[in-house]
Structure 1
């Protein structure tokens, strides 16, 4: 693989849903737009954020055997600029607190909810994310 990192970046985060149309409506409202890709009513994708990462919804019928049906395991944290406002919005939309807003050291703040479909959705205010974004933006060549 040479100088290429083994893990090059977040490609797609997928969540399962028993009711894909309801998940489509919920995430479309949360993300402020419709999915850019759909496959047969069983799979949806949105491109979101500064790096256009993918968030996918898959019909739970396609989950691998033994996949957990309850929240747990790894939590993916999405950067947000106002964690309190986003946390309140998620709760108002029917999500349930999984991890309360927790202040960490060095300005990091995390929280997580369980969406109405049983998936853990983490949110974080990350000074590192903002610093990296600024660094990458400043290193882009000037437009001609």
Structure 2
């Protein structure tokens, strides 16, 4: 079971410029504004800016599927032929993320909310 794509993360080098541009686009201020991540809620969608994304193998905007069991879904994708970009890890407060690369080179992110 999953809740579909609800988050997209953009790798960014200049966080301040990216934050200003996205605030103009969203017409709102970020709900989270930290040196390691800036997040906006736009029409029920989470849009994030991650200055460390490239170091994690994310070089393009990455959609994140919200799933109930990230470890099982991550393993199923690997078993289905995907390759690991980022193993399951806690990003704070019990929220787990991971990412894989499909056979075409697209990165697919997974998120399991704390619960």
TM-score normalised by structure 2 residue count: 0.49
Q: Which has the larger radius of gyration?
A: 1
Higher fraction of strand: 2
Asked which structure has the greater RCO (Cα within 8 Å, sep 6+), the reply is 2
